[in-house]
Amino acid sequence: MTRMYDNNHMNSYIHPELAELLPSELLAVCLESKISKGARLFTEGKTPKWMFYVTHGEIALIRNGVDGETAYLQRQRRGFVAEASLLSDRYHCNADALINSSLIKGPIPALKDWLSKDAQFSLRWIKMLSAEVRRIRMQNERLALPTVRARILHLLNTGNQGTVFQVQGSPKLMAQELAVSHEALYRGLAALEKEGKIIRQDQLIRILD
Query: 109 with 189, same domain?
Result: no
Mapped to the 3 state alphabet, what secondary structure does 106-172 carry?
EEHHHHHHHHHHCHHHHHHHHHHHHHHHHHHHHHHHHHCCCCHHHHHHHHHHHCCECCEEECCCCHH
pLDDT value, residue 206 = 86
Q: Which of 142, 160, 191 is the last residue of a domain?
A: 142
Alpha carbons 55 and 34: distance in angstroms, whole number: 10
Query: 79 with 122, same domain?
Result: yes
pLDDT mean by block of 10 residues, the chain; 209 residues = 47 68 93 95 96 93 76 86 93 94 96 96 95 86 91 83 74 82 90 89 82
Query: 194 with 109, same domain?
Result: no
CATH of residue 103's domain is: 2.60.120.10
Alpha carbons 209 and 141: distance in angstroms, whole number: 23
Query: 127 with 76, same domain?
Result: yes
pLDDT value, residue 168 = 73
Query: 95 with 11, same domain?
Result: yes
pLDDT value, residue 209 = 67
pLDDT value, residue 170 = 75
Q: Which of 89, 36, 39 is nearest to 62 (CA)?
A: 39
pLDDT value, residue 140 = 86
pLDDT value, residue 37 = 94
Q: Which domain holds residue 196?
A: 148-207
